[in-house]
Amino acid sequence: MKRFSKYFNFIILFILLVIFFTNDTSKQISAQITSILPEGENKELLREFEKLNLNKQLFIAYKGNDKTSLNSLKKLEQKLLKQENIISVKTSNITKEYNQKYYYLIHKIDESQYNTLDIKKELENIHQKIISSPFSFSLDTIDPLNLFEKNTIPKSPYLKIKNYGYITTLQLDKSVNNFNSYKKIYDLAQKLKHTDSNIEIFSTLFYFVENQEKIKTDVNIIITLSLIILFILYIVILKNFKLLIHTITTLSSSVLFALITSSLFFDEISIFTIVFGVSISTIAIDYMFHNYLHGYYAQKKSINKDVFFGMSTTIGAFFILSFVDFNFIQQLTIFAISSLLFSYFVFTFLFPHLNIQSKQTTLSLANTFSIKPIFITLFSILFITFSIPNIKTDFNIKNLDVDNVELQALDNFFNTYINTDKRTVVLVYANSVENLIEKVNTLQTTYPKITNPLATIPTKNSFKKFDKTRFDAINKQVNTLANDIGFRTNLFQNSYKLQSTLPNYSFDSLQGFPIGKYKNIFITYVVVANNDYENILKEPFVKPLSLKELFKNDLVASFVSLKILSAIALVFICAMLYLAVKNRFFQALNYIVFPIALIFILSYYIKFNILHIFMMIVLVSLSIDYGIYMNNTQLSSSTKKAIFYSLLSTFAGFGVLIFSSVNALFSIGLIATIGIVSLIILLLTHKVRK
Amino acid sequence: MFKIVYFLLFTLSTLFSQEIHFKETKYIYALDNELSKVGTLNITDNKVILQYKSSDKTVIYTAQNIKIVSKDDKEIYTHAESVEYDLFFKLVLAIYTNDTTLVLENFAITKKKKTITLLPDEYLSSILETIQYEKDGKKLKYLEIHFTNQDRITIEEIQ
């Protein structure tokens, strides 16, 4: 049994690895920013919207204004069209069919022409135009009298940009719906760009690929940095390789355990949760150091009262915060509770049986100078009081994403030329397909500039409004007069004849149109001019699609619950603190207020986002452990060392995130680093009683 | 001095200009009728002038715009505003300068012996079906334009 317990730590890791891979937990990991957003109707609608084809366009530009450039663009286009999931932008056949069958319901009546109609004069004019036209006169036999507003002549698919070159647009089909298919298109685009420097290719899908790559690269750098710091700590300072191996094994197991536990609670686990969660799991090293440096492993003792108090306070604070109604915080708190509890049990009950011997270290943290705790308390309260009026919050979730400057520049380049008037996409929803079509058509009446293929579909309303008797009379007159003027017999026989029935619309019959479905809600989008954006959002069936607008209310609500629950967590922490240190309560409190005071200085320079705030809470949970350890009755230099090593480990876990270019990770790293620095200051100025 | 330079330039441009007389036959499906007219095309370095005998209108095509001038009126259009004339003149220039790249933007070009066929791209295919022409040396033997509305124009160089 004794021999067996030596390997128990590795056996646990092996078992967890088997569970992780057999359960396909890795498939639940998502790099999408939406995976951290609050669950609910808005998020589901956003997911449905992403399935619509709007974002699946591929923009291609070729530099050079000469004819050979156009030819090269066409060849490039042909090459891309050979890919099975890239298609040309065409009006769908169903739209063409409706346009022919229900022309008079789809197009708006030209009231002035309709009200002052002189059929004979109009037909004579047409006759004259046909004869004098230099080319062929484009005669509309369906609406020869121009009673309905017509679409303009189709634009060339190759947009000529003065002083640049040519641009064209292709469409990606429905099979392009997951990360692997995005990556294939992205790789192809990069390959083509490398073969010819005149080529530029862009799709908004490239953000998913590049941002994920950037996050992965960042995470790799951060993990390497963490490992270097941990290596220095264990091998160079502690000189205990066995301790390092067992600690890394335990932490890896704790992360796997937390991932498996989280996968039971959530369908999707954000990559941000994992990065942040892995960092949180390193807090547990603190438990190990205290046990190790106080000889618990060498003497095979199990429960360290201070460590138990520290762990309970941290877990308790996370438990309270898990009630914040924000997906990311819920994912993170569950991850943190699972990993910390796992590590605590292993460090407390298994490590004493691993035969780990304490080794002497040369590090000395003797007092060189000390500051009276009351001065630190006063300084902290003063700074907090002055900083509070400056605190501003930033709820734009997009600001937490990767700042992909290069791709944004390319995005802007195509946007400038393709959408000359600035446009934004909004979501339209209704409880049936027919209502959805009605709503899109209503919107088009008020905002004629909006675009959506559904606006080309006849509605019940337009069918009712059509004055069939009057148009039947016009048809008769046109045919009689046309014969007299000299037109071909029966040329206008189908003019102004309306189909007797409307088609039956359903979600299935309108496949090919941008319609999505979530429960009993049908959605589509309309592209609206920026001038109309504010007004269109006032319509009760229109929702914004920007993450900022869509989740603003959710984030504000989450922030309110975060504030309330943080206050509860703070009361809980204070209570635990009092229970642990009693009459040294205010000295221990410095370990909370001093880091907060230093962090609040940031309010003069930045707006606090949700991750800054959350990290502050994590820091407080951590600091309180140190407050307890540093103010207990048996304080020794070993406690100071244990805390110093813990802080180094915490920096390896959290602090290194300050080197990340991903705003979300940087926010965490910034707060963690300031917090760690402030705790080191407290540690060095805290007088050890003899 | 300016007058002399202007006169010299005018004389030179006239010397290098190309005057083409042609007969145009148009079948109009909507009228089920055929119309014929005779006209002149004057091609210089920087413009093309089109005139029909039966009409008092002159159409002038330059790199900047298209002007339609008559006794009492003068209309100026950008190339985008007058798509039909723009295409017609581009075609004329492509044929007489033997530079088909001028219409490359909108057509796929095939050549079979002396016959050149232009197939319109998606953008023009709603109006045009095919364009076909053949030249005999510098002279245009025929130019046939088939429209989707079943109209058809045949142009032959005369003289």
pLDDT tens, position by position, A446-459: 887 777 778 777 78
**A-chain residues within 8 Å CB-CB of B31?**
127, 130-131, 486-488
Task: Quote the mean pLDDT of chain A.
Answer: 82
Q: Residue for token digits 């069918």?
A: A463
Q: For chain A, percent helix, then strand, then coil, each to nearest 5?
A: 65, 10, 25
**B-chain residues within 8 Å CB-CB of A157?**
121-123
Q: Do B127 and A487 touch (CB under 8 A)?
A: no
Angle (CA) A484 A489 A493, round 5°: 105
Q: Is the pLDDT of residue B7 over 70?
A: no
Task: Establish how many alpha carbons lie within 13 A of residue A574's alpha carbon, considering only the half-sphere containing its beta carbon.
Answer: 10
Q: Is the pLDDT of residue A689 over 70?
A: no
Q: Do B127 and A90 touch (CB under 8 A)?
A: no
A420 touches chain B (CB under 8 A): no
Q: Do B31 and A88 touch (CB under 8 A)?
A: no
pLDDT value at residue A637:
73
Closest CB to B30: pick one of A68, A135, A139.
A139
**Buried-exposed string A193-208: b where 16+ CB fall within 10 A, e elsewhere:** eeeeeebbbbbebbbb
pLDDT value at residue A653:
77
CATH class name, domain B18-158: mainly beta
Q: Do B35 and A138 touch (CB under 8 A)?
A: no
Q: Taking the CA atoms of A449, A453, A459 and A462 in sequence, report the sign of the dihedral they define.
A: positive
Q: Do A67 and B151 touch (CB under 8 A)?
A: no
pLDDT value at residue A33:
63
B106 touches chain A (CB under 8 A): yes
pLDDT value at residue B14:
43
Give CA torsion, residues A579, A582, A588, A592, to 10 deg.
Answer: 40
Residues found in chain A: 690
Residues found in chain B: 159
Distance, CA of A370 to CA of A368 (rounded, Å)? 7
Distance, CA of A305 to CA of B35 (rounded, Å)? 108
**B-chain residues within 8 Å CB-CB of A134?**
50, 59, 84-85, 88
pLDDT value at residue B13:
44
Residue A178: Cβ-neighbour burial (10 angstroms; 0-12, 13-18, 19+): exposed
Distance, CA of B152 to CA of B131 (rounded, Å)? 10
Q: What is the pTM of this model?
A: 0.60
Q: Do B123 and A139 touch (CB under 8 A)?
A: no
B73 touches chain A (CB under 8 A): no
pLDDT tens, residue by residue, A202-226:
988 888 888 888 888 887 888 888 8
**Buried-exposed string A379-396: b where 16+ CB fall within 10 A, e elsewhere:** bbeebbeebeeeeeebbb
**Of A34, A29, A27, nearest to A400 (Cα)?**
A34
In sequence order, what are the beta bridge partners of A524?
Answer: A428
Q: Do A138 and B85 touch (CB under 8 A)?
A: no
Phi, psi of B59 (to 5 degrees): -110, 125
pLDDT tens, residue by residue, A504-526:
788 887 777 778 888 788 888 88
Distance, CA of A138 to CA of B158 (rounded, Å)? 28
DSSP A505: P
B84 touches chain A (CB under 8 A): yes
CA A216 vs CA A212, A266, A399: distances in Å: 6, 22, 18
Closest CB to A136: pick one of B83, B101, B153.
B153
Contacts of B92 (CB under 8 A, 6+ apart): B41, B43, B48
**A-chain residues within 8 Å CB-CB of B125?**
none
Mean pLDDT, residues B137-153 taken together = 89
Closest residue, chain B, to A69 (C-alpha)? B105
Distance, CA of A77 to CA of A54 (rounded, Å)? 20
Q: Is the pLDDT of residue A190 over 50?
A: yes
Distance, CA of A654 to CA of A641 (rounded, Å)? 19
**B-chain residues within 8 Å CB-CB of A71?**
104
**Quick count: other Cβ atoms within 10 Å of Cβ A449?**
13
pLDDT value at residue A548:
67
Closest residue, chain B, to A158 (C-alpha)? B105
Nearest chain B Cα distance for residue A56, angstroms: 21
**Of B110, B79, B3, B93, nearest to B48 (Cα)?**
B93
Mean pLDDT, residues B23-47 taken together = 90
Going by pLDDT thresholds of 50, 70 and 90, the confidence category of residue B30 is very high
B58 touches chain A (CB under 8 A): no
Closest residue, chain A, to B104 (C-alpha)? A67
Angle (CA) A548 A549 A554, round 5°: 85
Interface test with A, best of B124, B126, B149, B153 (most A CBs within 10 A): B149
Going by pLDDT thresholds of 50, 70 and 90, the confidence category of residue A13 is very high
In sequence order, what are the beta bridge partners of B136?
Answer: B139
B68 touches chain A (CB under 8 A): no
Task: Establish how many alpha carbons lie within 13 A of residue A677's alpha carbon, considering only the half-sphere containing its beta carbon.
Answer: 12
Nearest chain A Cα distance for residue B5, angstroms: 33
Distance, CA of A551 to CA of A45 (rounded, Å)? 12
B131 touches chain A (CB under 8 A): no
Going by pLDDT thresholds of 50, 70 and 90, the confidence category of residue A420 is low
pLDDT value at residue B154:
92
**Of A615, A635, A637, A618, nearest to A627 (Cα)?**
A635
**A-chain residues within 8 Å CB-CB of B88?**
134-135
Closest residue, chain A, to B59 (C-alpha)? A134
Task: Establish how many alpha carbons lie within 13 A of residue B15's alpha carbon, considering only the half-sphere containing its beta carbon.
Answer: 6
- Tokens, residue A485: 């003027």
pLDDT value at residue B8:
43
**Of A559, A555, A612, nearest to A397 (Cα)?**
A555
Interface test with A, best of B37, B84, B89 (most A CBs within 10 A): B84
Helix segments in chain B, DSSP class H: 2-15, 83-96
In sequence order, what are the beta bridge partners of B48?
Answer: B43, B61
B93 touches chain A (CB under 8 A): no
Distance, CA of A123 to CA of A144 (rounded, Å)? 8
Q: Is the pLDDT of residue B113 over 50?
A: yes
pLDDT value at residue A346:
93
Interface test with B, best of A126, A135, A494 (most B CBs within 10 A): A135
DSSP A204: T
Closest CB to B30: pick one of A71, A160, A491.
A491
Residue A150 near residue A107, CB atoms below 8 Å: yes
- Tokens, residue A44: 């589901």
The CB-based long-range contact list for A382-388 (8 Å cut-off, 24+ gap) reads A382/A597, A383/A597, A383/A598, A383/A600, A383/A601, A384/A593, A384/A596, A384/A597, A384/A600, A387/A597, A387/A600, A387/A601, A387/A603, A387/A604, A388/A600, A388/A603
Phi, psi of A521 (to 5 degrees): -105, 130
Q: Do A155 and B153 touch (CB under 8 A)?
A: no
Angle (CA) A594 A597 A601, round 5°: 145
A158 touches chain B (CB under 8 A): yes
pLDDT value at residue B10:
44
In sequence order, what are the beta bridge partners of B144?
Answer: B132, B154
**B-chain residues within 8 Å CB-CB of A158?**
105
**B-chain residues within 8 Å CB-CB of A155?**
123
